[in-house]
């Protein structure tokens, strides 16, 4: 566990001292541009304190290693936003893909005095003990990226994420059909089985393919969100299904592994069409290089919206129970320009 303050120790000390007893203005946000959907259903604090975030300790529980580009972008966004909103102190933990550790991390942050929590859940279940401890102390929670079991407004206030079903899976099906002329033998490399994101991306892709009868999924294998796992799986797929000419990877990390396996098998860029999800900088570069045809972004920039909604909670303003961030879709038509303008994370 580590506590984030600011870039240098002296700077951090000065920042913390300056926050004590001083309410500082939060940055103005254009939430309409940053989000594509906010639910009409809301949570409202029945006993607003109107306390400013500059007087609060906020905990952020990251679920996976920042070696994953998406997680690195997500962590950076939360840390940067904590500074922008002048949060008194941000406690940061990383569970490194261990569910029990994440529960312990959240409970430890509560014991350290966290007055609000931002959690990127590892799994769709398992956080109930931490939710219960937070609820007992009236600590508001926002969840990011992955849905998890619990009741909104009681266990947690809101879920912030992408449109995992209709947008990502269906868009990748459409883009893969474009790349292959609507006729392909598709290998699907899925995330960890049972994960809420994996389930949504699997269902979305299957729904999207219904419009293209010439697109056939010949194999579905898990890459567990890891590059090395996906590389091994793709190598096995090429041996078992040498006629595969298209790949749907449910995350860039797994697309990278598939690309390595294709290279090792002597395949050239574009010989096997790949679509992916995440929109990382390397993924967009692979579009320019010809390996990936399309990459649907999963926007990791949750930080500003998360702190904005926490402040709304303390001020007694409505907090949407579900917020969908605005994402990009990268293709050969815009990938080079996006890289030049430093758009991908």
**Rounded to two decimals, what is the model's pTM?**
0.86
Residue whose entry in the numeric block shows the structure tokens 């209709």: 166
Q: Which of 276, 185, 285 has the alpha carbon at shortest distance from 230?
A: 276
What are the φ/ψ torsions at residue 121 (nearest 5 degrees)?
-65, 145
Tokens 């259903």 correspond to 41
Amino acid 11: pLDDT: 39
Q: Mention every residue, 6+ apart, whose C-beta is less than 8 A from residue 268.
A: none
What string of pLDDT tens digits covers the 345 residues of the chain?
A: 333 233 333 333 333 333 344 556 778 888 888 999 999 999 999 999 999 999 999 999 999 999 999 999 999 999 999 999 999 999 999 999 999 999 999 999 999 999 999 999 999 899 999 999 999 999 999 999 999 999 999 999 999 998 875 689 999 999 999 999 999 999 999 999 988 899 999 999 999 999 999 999 999 999 999 999 999 999 999 999 999 999 999 999 999 999 999 999 999 999 999 999 999 999 999 999 999 999 999 999 999 999 999 999 999 999 999 999 999 999 999 999 999 999 999
Whole-angstrom Cα distance, residue 130 to residue 340?
A: 43
Q: Which residues contact 54 (CB under 8 A, 6 or more apart)?
A: 19, 22, 23, 24, 85, 86, 87, 88
Candidates 204, 215, 222; CA nearest to 244 is 215
Quote the pLDDT of residue 14: 36
Place of tokens 């409202």: 44
With a CB cutoff of 8 Å and minimum separation 6, the contacts of 211 are 173, 174, 177
Strand partners, 59: 91, 117
Quote the CA–CA distance of 140 and 136 in Å, as a whole number: 11
Q: E-strand spans in the chain?
A: 2-4, 35-38, 42-43, 57-62, 89-94, 116-119, 141-144, 158-161, 184-190, 215-222, 246-249, 273-278, 294-297, 319-320, 322-325, 329-330
User: Do residues 276 and 330 lie in contact, with contact meaning Cβ atoms separated by under 8 Å?
Assistant: no
Predicted local distance difference test score (pLDDT) of residue 31: 84
Hey, what domains does the chain have and what are their CATH numbers?
A: 2-161+301-326 (3.40.50.2300), 164-298 (3.40.50.2300)
Beta-bridge partners for 94: 62
Place of tokens 């600011």: 6
C-alpha torsion sign, points 115, 116, 122, 128: positive
Backbone angles phi, psi at 122, to 5 degrees: -80, -45
Q: Which of 294, 338, 288 is nearest to 170 (CA)?
A: 294
């Amino acid at each position: 566990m580590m506590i984030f303050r600011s870039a240098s120790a002296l700077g951090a000390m000065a920042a913390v001292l300056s926050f004590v007893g001083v309410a500082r203005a939060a940055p103005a946000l254009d939430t309409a541009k940053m989000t594509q959907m906010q639910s009409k259903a809301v949570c409202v604090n029945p006993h607003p304190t109107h306390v400013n975030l500059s007087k609060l300790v906020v905990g952020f529980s990251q679920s996976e290693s920042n070696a994953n580009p998406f997680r690195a972008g997500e962590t950076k966004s939360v840390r940067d936003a904590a500074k922008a909103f002048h949060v008194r102190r941000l406690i940061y933990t990383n569970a490194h893909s261990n569910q029990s550790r994440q529960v312990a991390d959240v409970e430890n942050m509560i014991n350290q005095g966290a007055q609000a929590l931002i959690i990127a859940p590892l799994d769709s279940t398992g956080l109930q003990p931490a939710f219960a401890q937070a609820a007992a102390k009236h600590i508001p929670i926002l969840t990011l990226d992955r849905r998890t079991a619990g009741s909104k407004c009681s266990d947690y206030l809101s879920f912030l994420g992408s449109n995992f079903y209709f947008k990502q899976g269906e868009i990748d099906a459409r883009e893969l059909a474009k790349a292959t002329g609507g006729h392909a033998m598709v290998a699907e490399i899925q995330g960890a089985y049972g994960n809420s994101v994996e389930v949504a991306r699997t269902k979305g892709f299957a729904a999207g393919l219904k419009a293209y009868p010439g697109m056939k999924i010949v194999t579905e294998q898990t890459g567990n969100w890891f590059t090395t796992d996906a590389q091994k799986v793709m190598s096995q797929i090429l041996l078992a299904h040498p006629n595969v000419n298209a790949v749907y990877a449910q995350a860039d990390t797994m697309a990278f592994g598939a690309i390595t396996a294709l290279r090792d098998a002597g395949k050239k860029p574009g010989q096997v069409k790949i679509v992916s999800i995440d929109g990382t900088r390397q993924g967009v570069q692979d579009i320019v290089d010809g390996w990936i045809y399309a990459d649907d972004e999963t926007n990791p920039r949750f930080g500003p919206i998360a702190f904005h909604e926490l402040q709304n909670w303390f001020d007694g303003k409505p907090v949407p129970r579900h917020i969908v961030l605005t994402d990009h879709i990268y293709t050969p038509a815009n990938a080079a320009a996006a890289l030049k303008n430093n758009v991908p994370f």
